Amino acid sequence: MSLSEAARAVRENAYAPYSNFKVGAALRAPSGAIYSGCNVENVAYPEGTCAEAGAIAAMIAAGETEITEAYVIAGSPAPVPPCGGCRQKLAEFAKGDVTVTLATTEGIETAMKVSDLLPGAFGRDHMENS
Ligand code: THU
């Protein structure tokens, strides 16, 4: 299964009764394995989690810690970029030159680099003197 197929498939399982906005995310790790996740909303709205966070949790639970490629898909008119928090979460595990493909269910795709999604990212090197 390709990264796009995995993201499209997991999106179907998204639990989004409040926004009705289903999102699927799939990540590839160095082993070649694909980890996928979908958004999971909650009646207490801030407790919901994004698709990217779910995919990262699956990757970490499986014992991998590096993202080599990512794909995010939603039923939006234009490819929807990850929220600010998810950009930071992706940057924790992906180098700046890693490609994140943003897609719509209609087939529009935009490829971006992690460094473009989060320019000036806060990283470990900023804590070196602490
Ligand atoms: N959402 C994601 O899962 N990922 C994104 O990149 C953008 C937003 C979810 C969160 C919420 O469940 C719904 O989309 C509407 O914001």
Catalytic (active site) residue 12: no
Whether 105 lines ligand 1, by a CB cut-off of 6 Å, is: no
Q: Extract the tokens encoding 17.
A: 């009764």
**Quick check: 129 pLDDT over 90?**
no
Q: Is there a contact between 42 and 50 (Cβ–Cβ < 8 Å)?
A: no
Tens digits of per-residue pLDDT, 86-119?
999 999 999 999 999 999 999 999 999 999 999 9
Strand partners, 69: 28, 99
Whether 14 lines ligand 1, by a CB cut-off of 6 Å, is: no
Please provide residue 123's backbone torsions phi and psi, each rounded to the nearest 5 degrees.
-135, 180
Q: Is there a contact between 33 and 62 (Cβ–Cβ < 8 Å)?
A: yes
Instruction: Determine the Cα–Cα distance for residues 63 and 93; give it in Å rounded to an integer.
Output: 13
Atom 3 in ligand 1: residue holding the nearest Cα:
50
Whether 54 lines ligand 1, by a CB cut-off of 6 Å, is: no
The pTM for the full model equals 0.96
